[in-house]
Structure 1
């Protein structure tokens, strides 16, 4: 009996099955950076590499491995057209003309690899996938033809392990908010591509703000709640689970257009950035033990303390600084200072110069993770 026990304790586990060559190749490809040029360039090596790079099982693993997709650039309305401004350097820089939408419709937002625009003349919203060129039009409810409209698009897949940004075949949702005439109180409506129907109108009893426009504002998704600015009065909040619309009063300092933006705070809650020379203030929405929510100032940074910005003497007059947009995935803010656009990482407060422009308009971040099979019509500057 003793000898048998010794033999069992000393037995070695069975060796793992040998890896096939294709399995080793996929493990190598899985670890290359998720930048736009990575997989297309790898797939150009040979037929075997391309077959591995476009395999649906591999691309699903690739997205899951890298998580959040990279920021490719920003969409903005310019000269009655929707233009794309890339932010990456070659070989990952996407030529802007490849993603320009060439549409006179109103840009409402970008999320999960899709762009949402509002075609006023046709009373439709248009969902675009700029990478593949796929488009889908949906007629809006008749009430939305009479107000200032804003909205958001998002992927409807909430399955465990699903990674947004390259989920082009997944169902999607659209939320529209608008200022109802003549009292300018906000209403919302929810659309599901799975049922191809709009839900009922969702009102809120918000006070009249005195200024009714909310069009053009970028939405932020925190948890399962969407947020937009509501003129200079506060923030619109749409809860996707409860299908409810509310208004949150904002802290003081939001009385100057484009000097503030909604952000995600470091603990994953609702936050605000307010720009006021010579400081950037970071506010956070806190809920106390009694369930009462208040705004708390959690960080103040002087402008000259941001690495990469022009020295204070080169930033001319007060009021030349504007917030143009926000990339939630990377927690980066788009900042316009006297004709120069910078992107600022809000945690490290480091920045880099993107481009020079006197054109000031809201910018919507576009993040996408794609494979060679997704972008046959997309040519990178390699």
Structure 2
């Protein structure tokens, strides 16, 4: 008796539609992947254009996103791609925006400061989405000039590709000795700014012995924030040389000193995540003898750093 041959029946359109999204999810997470896939046929375009699919696509690749490039400059925001096929990002500019100062990029979002009116822009370069937020009144005791504030943007939670948070910080007070740090958090989930969080900034009476800026009130340096663990960190420059920490979980603000004079003549200072175990660290380089020091902050069993 001859063996019967069996051919699998072709997949039904319903089965194919259930399998196709799983295949498309595994496309490379480059910005050009989904637009190119949408050109294949109508069915692919319908899947790719579905907001639910695009959300799953971002979640699927959230652990290993590609480095698309970096922005350079102020105002023009020139983009330098790292991919073979250059991506072009265009930020819509409103009349009267003036020079926009980038405050940093994180989790696929760019945060920009607009001086007039005093606002921040949260921009997703890939999708083109923009959110304009007024900087909250009262962030500083005096007029909130854009040169004395800084900020950072980040996704609200791991795996949440829709919501974001903005943390704005400032150093404020009267004179050199009476200074404080202030922070405020915006949540896209509530659509509102939270309350102000403050911390005193110490006055360093001996700063003139080593620092270059001891005559000036302590302010937050223009460098972008560094994220390590559950905290954001900024440099403090002026009479008090140190680091400003904002704990995202506890919603608390604190000021820490550094173990070496970081702004002496010829020194270069940069915050960084510490190697091995995470946490905060910094790179200190002397331009006079070209010696680099890597520092890492440790905490003992009693919680003393």
TM-score w.r.t. structure 1 length?
A: 0.60
| Deviations 1:282-309, CA, capped at 9 Å, x for gaps | 332221222221xxxxxxxxxxxxxxxx
| Deviations 1:251-286, CA, capped at 9 Å, x for gaps | 426325654232253423222233456555433222
Aligned to 2:169: 177
Which residue of the other structure, out of 287, 298, 302, is the alignment partner of 1:286? Answer: 298
Aligned to 2:150: 150
| Deviations 1:78-114, CA, capped at 9 Å, x for gaps | 3xx14132232332x2135x25868513322222333
Distance 1:198 1:107 in 2: 20
Which residue of the other structure, out of 224, 241, 250, is the alignment partner of 1:218? Answer: 224
Aligned to 2:87: 94
Which has the bigger relative contact order, CA under 8 A and spacing at least 6?
1
Contiguous gaps of at least 5 residues in structure 2: 1-10, 205-213
Distance 2:78 2:258 in 1: 31
Q: How many residues of Structure 1 are paired with residues of Structure 2 in the alignment?
A: 265
Change (3 A) 1:206 1:287: same
Distance 2:24 2:188 in 1: 34
Aligned to 2:117: 122
8 Å CA contact 2:180, 2:201 repeated in 1: yes
Matches within 5 A, 1:197-276: 197-208=192-203, 210=214, 211=216, 212-231=218-237, 233-252=241-260, 254-255=262-263, 258-263=268-273, 265-276=275-286
Change (3 A) 1:120 1:57: closer
8 Å CA contact 1:116, 1:128 repeated in 2: yes
Aligned to 1:134: 130
Distance 1:151 1:217 in 2: 10
Change (3 A) 1:59 1:201: closer
| Deviations 1:136-183, CA, capped at 9 Å, x for gaps | 232421343345101112232x3xxx535xx2x42x322211111323
Q: Does 1:34 align with 2:34?
A: no
8 Å CA contact 1:99, 1:130 repeated in 2: yes
8 Å CA contact 2:242, 2:257 repeated in 1: yes
Distance 2:139 2:190 in 1: 20
Distance 1:103 1:266 in 2: 42
Aligned to 1:352: none
Distance 1:89 1:199 in 2: 39
Structural RMSD (CA): 3.0
8 Å CA contact 1:149, 1:176 repeated in 2: yes
Q: CA deviation at 1:130?
A: 3.1
Distance 2:77 2:267 in 1: 22
Q: CA deviation at 1:206?
A: 2.3
Aligned to 2:66: 70
Give the secondary structure class of the aligned counterpart of 1:287. coil
Distance 1:31 1:282 in 2: 39
Contiguous gaps of at least 5 residues in structure 1: 1-16, 294-382
Which residue of the other structure, out of 63, 86, 110, is the alignment partner of 2:105? Answer: 110
Change (3 A) 1:50 1:149: same
Matches within 5 A, 1:9-20: 20=15
Give the secondary structure class of the aligned counterpart of 1:229. strand
Distance 2:292 2:20 in 1: 47
Distance 2:92 2:82 in 1: 16
Give the secondary structure class of the aligned counterpart of 1:63. helix
Change (3 A) 1:265 1:241: same
